[in-house]
């Protein structure tokens, strides 16, 4: 098959790397791609949210399957335009992408179908939001409704902080919800209409600082699997959260197709949904791709063409760890243009692949062009081994304008002691 991959981050570099290893993949084109993706694919400078250009490219290149990496083109309905042109696509249409695009939509779906999640109210104006605060204990969580790249959520530790977050957000759709206590884990499932198959678990590190401190980011590192999500809890989350969601979306005439990423809080009373994403996580995807066995291209094609019954995803029992190297300043304004060296030496470490998240070429020099710059990914038979390899690789990289966390995987590593 000829595959077109939309996106330009570390997630898409990992997808490209994995797709091109599978026997069903003949050619891979990426739009727009990045210098890492260019190692495995031909990159074309096309905006993934420009549906008409994506369709033209797919038709001109006889594309058999389009794989959509990021949420923005999904929420914008690029998958709908492709399907209308009879092109197979891995990723949901705009109606199903509301599961991520609107927090209020996802919460109402949970409420209507008894899916465990934090108690909440939806409000439209700051006055309503302030009044609603009386109904919640502190801490309380304030969420802007739309896509916000992980920056639209405030976990307020005091009433004053909650009021400040509401004032900052201004009038507009918002969700106010109960604070859930527990450990977070991510569950990834392939979904084809009413049917869902478990793919993998992972744990992300969203805060910028060591010990999970400081502002939220897109993710500073991850590992997979997340053993805190035991087989029992995994089955329960599929049964109580993912499967009812797939059935509800299909019954509403807006079937989901693609990968559904459930962000879970493992509370004392069981797994509860924090949020849905309608695509692979970044950097969770970099952690999951090395573990996927079998013909990954064929797997995505089966989901895209309504044949999920034909596949049974198999994951290696190996553990992977991803350490994100970010540019100084992230998640604020990152330093741009810093030179990066040593990726070859890093990849010489056993089991290591360095995915590019935000890089560009300046002549022959690799430079930083984003907040998250590299996703250094290592595989090993157990987490401690993957960790050792990941940091040995990180230490080979020369990137003066960069920083990373040294404690990725700490919760699990502490448990293992
Ligand atoms: P979200 O963008 O919804 O994933 O929220 C970002 C982060 O905020 C999550 O990863 C959690 O750490 C935290 N968070 C969101 N909602 C809640 C909640 N109801 N209770 C506790 N923490 C939450
Ligand atoms: N790493 C979290 C996300 O991709 O949303």
Assess whether 242 and 143 both reside in one domain: no
- Residue 110 forms part of a structural domain: no
For position 262, what pLDDT does the model report? 98
Mutate to test the pocket of ligand 1, among 146, 147, 155, 185 (most ligand atoms within 8 A of CB): 155
Rounded Cα distance between 238 and 189, Å, is: 8
Q: What integer is the mean pLDDT of 389-394?
A: 98
Is the pLDDT at 32 greater than 70? The verdict is yes
Which ligand 2 atom sits nearest the alpha carbon of residue 204? 1
pLDDT at 263 over 70: yes
Range of the domain at 188: 182-315
pLDDT at 149: 58
For 210, residues 6+ apart whose C-beta sits below 8 A from its C-beta are 405, 406, 407
Ligand at minimal distance from the CA of 182 is 1
Q: Is residue 368 part of a domain?
A: yes
What CATH number does the domain containing 53 carry? Answer: 3.40.50.20
pLDDT in tens, 226-243: 999 999 999 999 999 999
| pLDDT over 90 (residue 293) | yes
The answer to whether the CB of 139 is under 6 A from ligand 1 is: no
Say what the pLDDT of residue 215 is: 87
- Residue 111 covered by a domain: no
101 in any annotated domain? no
Q: Of 178, 194, 210, which residue sits at a domain end?
A: 178
Q: Is the CB of 147 inside a 6 Å radius of any atom of ligand 1?
A: no
Structure confidence at residue 150 (pLDDT): 56
Please state the pTM of the whole predicted model. Answer: 0.96
The reply to whether 98 falls in a domain is no
Cβ < 6 A, ligand 2 pocket: 204, 218-219, 277, 281-282, 284
pLDDT given at position 417 = 66
Atom of ligand 2 nearest to the CA of 11: 4
- Biggest CA–CA distance in the chain, Å, is 59
Q: Are residues 260 and 341 in the same domain?
A: no
Tokens 């108690």, residue located? 119
Same-domain status, 310 and 186: yes
Q: Relative to the CA of 206, which ligand 1 atom is closest?
A: 10
On whether both 210 and 282 belong to a single domain, the answer is: yes
Whether residues 209 and 165 fall in one domain: no
- Name every residue whose Cβ is closer than 8 Å to that of residue 215 and which is 6 or more positions away in sequence: 207, 208, 331
Which atom of ligand 2 is closest in space to residue 282's alpha carbon?
4
Give the number of the ligand closest to the Cα of residue 156.
Answer: 1
Both 305 and 395 in a single domain?
no
**Residue with CA at minimum distance from ligand 1 atom 15:** 274
Residue bearing the CA closest to ligand 2, atom 4: 281
Which ligand 2 atom lies nearest to the CA of residue 277?
5
Domain tally, the chain: 4
The pLDDT value recorded for residue 141 is: 95
Does 383 share its domain with 263? no
Is the per-residue pLDDT at 148 higher than 90?
no
Distance 249 CA to ligand 1 centre (A): 23
Give the chain's mean pLDDT.
Answer: 96
Q: What is the pLDDT of residues 59-100, one digit of tens each?
A: 999 999 999 999 999 999 999 999 999 999 999 999 999 999
CATH of the domain at 131: 3.30.1490.20
Answer yes or no: is the C-beta of 263 below 6 A from any ligand 1 atom: yes
In a domain, 130, yes or no: yes
């Amino acid at each position: 098959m000829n595959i077109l991959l939309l996106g330009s981050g570390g997630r898409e570099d990992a997808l490209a790397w994995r797709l091109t290893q599978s026997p069903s993949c003949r050619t891979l084109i990426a739009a727009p791609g990045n210098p890492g993706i260019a190692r495995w694919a031909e990159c074309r400078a096309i905006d993934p949210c420009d549906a008409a250009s994506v369709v033209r490219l797919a038709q001109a290149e006889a594309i058999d399957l389009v794989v959509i990496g990021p949420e923005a083109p999904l929420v914008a309905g690029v998958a709908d335009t492709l399907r209308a042109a009879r092109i197979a696509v891995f990723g949901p249409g705009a109606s199903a992408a509301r599961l991520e695009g609107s927090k209020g939509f996802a919460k109402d779906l949970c409420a209507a179908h008894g899916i465990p999640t934090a108690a909440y109210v939806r409000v439209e104006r700051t006055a309503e939001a302030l009044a609603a605060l009386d109904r919640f204990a502190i801490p309380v969580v304030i969420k802007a409704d739309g896509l916000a790249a992980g920056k639209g959520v405030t976990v307020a530790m005091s009433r004053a902080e909650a009021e400040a977050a509401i004032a900052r957000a201004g009038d507009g759709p918002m969700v106010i919800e109960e604070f859930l206590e527990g450990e977070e884990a991510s569950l990834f499932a392939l979904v084809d209409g009413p049917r869902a198959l478990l793919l993998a678990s992972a744990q992300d590190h969203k805060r910028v600082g060591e010990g999970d401190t400081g502002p939220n980011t897109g993710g500073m590192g991850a590992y997979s699997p997340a053993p805190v999500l035991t087989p029992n809890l995994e089955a329960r989350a599929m049964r109580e959260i993912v499967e009812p969601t797939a059935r509800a979306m299909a019954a509403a005439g807006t079937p989901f197709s693609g990968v559904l990423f459930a962000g879970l809080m493992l509370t004392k009373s069981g797994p509860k949904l924090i949020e849905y994403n309608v695509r692979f996580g970044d950097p969770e995807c970099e952690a999951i791709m090395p573990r996927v066995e079998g013909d990954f291209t064929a797997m995505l094609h089966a989901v895209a063409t309504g044949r999920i019954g034909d596949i049974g995803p198999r994951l290696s029992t190996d553990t992977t760890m991803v350490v994100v190297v970010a540019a100084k300043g992230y998640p604020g304004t990152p330093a741009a243009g810093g030179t990066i060296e040593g990726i070859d030496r890093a990849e010489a470490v056993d089991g290591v692949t360095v995915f590019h998240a935000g890089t560009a070429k300046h002549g022959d020099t690799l430079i930083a062009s984003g907040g998250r710059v590299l996703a250094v990914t290592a595989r090993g038979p157990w987490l401690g081994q993957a960790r050792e390899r990941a940091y040995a690789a990180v230490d080979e990289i020369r990137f003066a304008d960069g920083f990373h966390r040294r404690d990725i995987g700490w919760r699990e590593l502490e448990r293992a002691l």
